Structure 1
Amino acid sequence: MTTTPSPDAQPSTKMTDEEYGVLRASAALWAGTSVLITDAYGRVLVQHVDYRATCLLPGGAVDANEAPAQGAARELREELGVTMPVDRGLAVDWVGAGSLNAPAAMRFPGEILHVYDGGTWDDERIAAIRLPDHEIDSVEFVEPARLPDLMSPGDARRALSALRARINSAGPALLENGLPIAPTVLDRAGALRTARARHHLPFHTVPVPDQLTVVQVWGWLFGPDGRVLVLLEPDTGAALLPGGSPELSDHGDPLATLRREAREEAAAEFGEPLLLGHLRDPAKPYARLRYAAPLTRLGPPSVDPATGRTHIRLLATPEQALELFGWGLPAADQLTAVHRARAQLGIPRAARQPLTELPDATDCQGLHGC
């Protein structure tokens, strides 16, 4: 067999097989693997290791003749004592030789790193973690926004890109030095890079007791395909539902608050709403109302007078919205109420799919994306 003067050229008579093999070996990269694992609140599992100052996702080098997915499963067994299949890819990252401050003696040639989805772990599986005698000092689940503080810059970029790819559900992301070559709206907005507001309060599917003061009204506003309107703040990437705090002009009417806030934040209008219930902090005399309603119209995006920002408007399944919010287990009852109201409104349940950024204006009835 004859070979080529460069790895991607067509074979010629200039090189022997041995020479071609040497050439290809000179262009070889390392191969690595890691696994993204979250808990019920969307916090990411990171490992504190004894051989470097920064944290890592579970994972490591792929052994000779080992498939990356097999390497990821092996690393979970060795590092966490957990045996489980690893069969869903989130990202493939090309890490350039010049992207790391690697010492010259390491002769780092670059790396192809595969990121797999380890899923959401419940308390039982977390309790089953068994660390080895060396290498892994401890593990913890951290807010995505903390990853840049705990990991090296490239590792943090890769982990956040993989997490956004998991939420977006468009298939594995192709990365270069941790950044997607085809950024989604979550990547462009920098979703999950700032701390998420904590709303881990019990949800009650009953009207608000008279002694409680309503301090917030938010709406699950459904498009015709069963997805809901989610807003991203353009400067922080924070995700939220349309809604806000009552003002004097609302005259104590929570629906007036929701309609005003939906117009101001999202230029959105909605049909007849259904009360889902309220969140309540047992230590405070406050209530946070939640409604569901069908979207009827979106006008051109406008500047929110309360914040001076123009929000990015998305359609997401309710489950994807909760992954962005990070509300965790306390949101399970609210999610049940959301789907009950959706069915009552005659709206189908949405299949999981990539997030859709909404256009400037639509009546929300004939548009595929709304």
Structure 2
Amino acid sequence: MDTMTAAFFADEGPPEAEFHPGIARRMAHKTVAAGALIRDPSDRILFVVPNYKPYLDLPGGIVETGEPPSAACRREVLEELGLDLPTGRLLVVDWTPGRGPWSDQVQFVFDGGVLDPSAAVRPAADELTGIQWSDLSNAPIRASLHRRLSLALTALTTGAPIHAEMGHRYC
């Protein structure tokens, strides 16, 4: 646990006791993921090529227990690409339903900034087969990710984060 998170927990006081033992275990648990929208000076997006699914994806991954989404984003970009980039501001929070082997998720997209495409990127061989720079319009990605990234690009220009459900703006 990082220092900031530990301080937040200290401010909260002792953990709450369950009034009805076992109820917390029976509640739904969602997967949380965090990704970075990294662009080049031409506004192409940096995608990773996972070896475990047929579509491109953003650099990022699953948030670990007790880990803030912003810290997970930075950790995952470092693990996947060898890049220690600061996590920028929140662009989109998107809920996606469970599908196939994946449970439903709350997905955070953070601004990963602008990176020179010649930067030394080292894709993690255990989970990626490479990287690809692409315009959003040409990227072979799921429709929901395309919608989510369209919203993220909007959030970059408006300065306001966007709440979405399956890539559709909510309200």
TM-score of the superposed pair, with normalisation by structure 1 = 0.40
Amino acid at match of 1:112: V
Q: Which residue of 1 aligns with 2:79?
A: 78
Check the 8 A contact 2:136/2:146 in 1, yes or no: no
**Structure 2: gaps (5+ residues):** 1-17
Separation in 1 of the partners of 2:161 and 2:95?
Answer: 13
In structure 1, what is the equivalent of residue 146 of structure 2?
156
Asked if 1:181 corresponds to 2:164, the answer is no
| 2:110 pairs with 1:116 | yes
Corresponding position of 1:18? 21
Query: Partner of 2:70 in structure 1?
Result: 69
CA root-mean-square deviation: 1.7
> d(CA) in 2 for partners of 1:19 and 1:78?
36
CA distance in structure 1 between the aligned counterparts of 2:79 and 2:35, rounded to whole angstroms: 13
In structure 2, the residue matched to 1:216 is: none
Q: Which amino acid counterpart does residue 37 of structure 1 have in structure 2?
A: I
Q: How many residues align?
A: 154
Secondary structure of 1:18's match? coil
Please give the alpha-carbon distance, in whole angstroms, between the structure 1 residues aligned to 2:52 and 2:23: 37
Q: How does 1:267-306 map to 2 (within 5 A)?
A: none
Asked whether the equivalents of residues 33 and 61 of structure 2 are also in contact (C-alpha less than 8 Å), the reply is yes
Q: d(CA) in 1 for partners of 2:126 and 2:25?
A: 37
Aligned residues of 2:88 and 2:113 also touching (Cα < 8 A): no
Matched, 1:138 2:130: yes
- In the alignment, what sits opposite 2:13? none
Q: Which residue identity does 1:114 align to in structure 2?
A: F
SS at match of 1:161: helix
Q: Percent of counterpart pairs with the same letter?
A: 29
Corresponding residue number in structure 1 for 2:156: 166
Deviation at 1:164, TM superposition (A): 1.8
Q: Structure 2: how far apart are the matches of 1:173 and 1:28?
A: 23
Q: Which runs of 4+ in 1 moved over 2 A?
A: none
CA shift in 2, pair 1:132/1:19, >3 Å: closer
Alpha-carbon separation, structure 2, partners of 1:144 and 1:17: 49
Higher relative contact order (CA 8 A, sep 6+): 2
> 2:92, 2:155 within 8 Å by CA — same for their partners in 1?
yes
Equivalent residue number for residue 127 of structure 1: 119
Match of 1:226 in 2: none
1:47 Cα deviation after fit: 1.1
Rounded to whole Å, the distance in 1 between the matches of 2:154 and 2:146 is 12
How far residue 115 of structure 1 moved from its aligned partner, in angstroms, is 0.4
Give the equivalent residue in structure 1 for 2:11: none
Alignment of structure 1 residues 198-347 onto 2, 5 Å: none
In the aligned structure 1, how far is the partner of 2:112 from the partner of 2:20? 41
In 2: Cα distance, 1:71 partner to 1:122 partner: 23
What is the CA–CA distance in structure 1 between the aligned matches of 2:137 and 2:125, rounded to whole Å? 30
**Higher CA-based Rg:** 1
The structural deviation recorded for 1:28 is 1.9
